[in-house]
Amino acid sequence: TPPPARPSILLVTLDTTRVDHLSAYGYERDTTPNLSRLAADGVTFTRAYSVASWTLPAHASLFTGKYPSSHGASHDPDGALVLSDGIEAASDAEREKYRIFRARGMGRDEQTLAELLSGAGHRSAGVVGGPWLKRVFGLSRGFAHWDEDEITSAGGRRASAVSDRAIAWLDALAADTPFLLFLNYFDAHMPYQPPRWLLRGYLDDPVAARDADRDATLRRASYDAEILYADMNFGRVIDRLKSLGRYDETLIVVTADHGELLGEHSLYGHPARLYEELTRIPLIVKFPKRRDAGTRVDEPIQLVDLFALILDQAGIDIPPGIQGQVPGRITHPIFTEEAPAFAGDEALRALYEGSEKLLWGSGGTRKLHDLARDPKEQRDLASE
């Protein structure tokens, strides 16, 4: 008998997307109808964690199976990678504003998911929405095709453009060619500027009417509408896979690189912190032939483990030195980290054990939270 066909892989990151704002995870607004449909055919992981609170290290961990301190991609106040280099068509003033965001890339000898899958015969492509995913920052390593057109500002490009390019690439592929298609939807990232017709639906809803703070209402509605817009366009790609007859055999992995603060801890966006709103992420996996459809998994899992999961499903040996592990056999601790973004910042580490979370900072920060009793991280138990 011939060996089983290697599955194709669709790997999707919903940039800056909080797990608690997804209807697929029980959120009160219907923000993710397409992701909910995928979850019905797949496995929902309820305790998925990033490894960091921003794009570059999180994606590098997804692509290498290693933590940021191992693969090297992270904030670095003296780093050679500068965000303004990724938005070359923006005005001089805007580029100057983003010159303060500096980083270093992943090590030259890191072997990537795209390199391994390409070497095994998969056709590989990435279509990205956010500026930190532009080729200049190194995450395209190993992809035969990388589409970053139209990313000319820090706001990235819309989900509709990402899906248009993804669908065109799928349409041009021979029907029996296994593929790796990576998509990054950047819509939920600031500035929140969803299509107005989507936003209107949320501003008229009862959730908004309850909220006395108009700015908070508008911010939350705009953020949710951006998530819905990304979900609608993700749904177009799923529909095309189905019409091409490739949905059942494709391994589909949908996650996020990190979350977002919408006023919690008096903060907005995703600063170099390790709060739960930033580090908890969605993860839904649709296995080939819809194996284990509709199930939920409560064991903790991280972005580093998706590297191992994908290689395992593709029948490719997992390289030595990888820190991620195959789900069901994960024994490593759950661990997140942040390098200092600016001179004088603390390096931060968070370690999870059961419901407890220990936060350590290089400048003396020591905090302990019991997330079962204190999910909003209001009560520090370190002194006890």
- Kindly report, residue by residue over 30-69, the tens digit of the pLDDT: 999 999 999 999 999 999 999 999 999 999 999 999 999 9
pLDDT at res. 89:
64
Stronger pLDDT, 205 or 180, i.e. the higher one: 180
Average pLDDT over residues 254-265: 96
Q: Does the pTM exceed 0.75?
A: yes
Average pLDDT over residues 253-267: 96
3-state secondary structure of 270: coil
- From residue 9, give the alpha-carbon distance in Å to each of 122, 146, 320: 9, 16, 22
- Which long-range contacts (C-beta less than 8 Å, at least 24 apart) are formed by 318-326? 318/65, 319/65, 319/111, 319/116, 321/66, 322/64, 322/65, 322/66, 323/65, 323/66, 323/67, 323/70, 324/61, 324/65, 324/66
Within 8 A by CB and 6+ apart from 355, the residues are: 370, 371, 372, 373
pLDDT at res. 364:
93
pLDDT tens-digit readout, 277-289: 999 999 999 999 9
pLDDT at res. 1:
45
pLDDT tens-digit readout, 312-371: 999 999 999 999 999 999 999 999 999 998 988 999 999 999 999 999 999 999 999 999
In this predicted structure, the answer to whether residue 93 has a pLDDT above a threshold of 90 is no
Within 8 A by CB and 6+ apart from 241, the residues are: 10, 170, 247, 250
pLDDT at res. 209:
58
In this predicted structure, the answer to whether residue 92 has a pLDDT above a threshold of 90 is no
In this predicted structure, the answer to whether residue 380 has a pLDDT above a threshold of 90 is yes
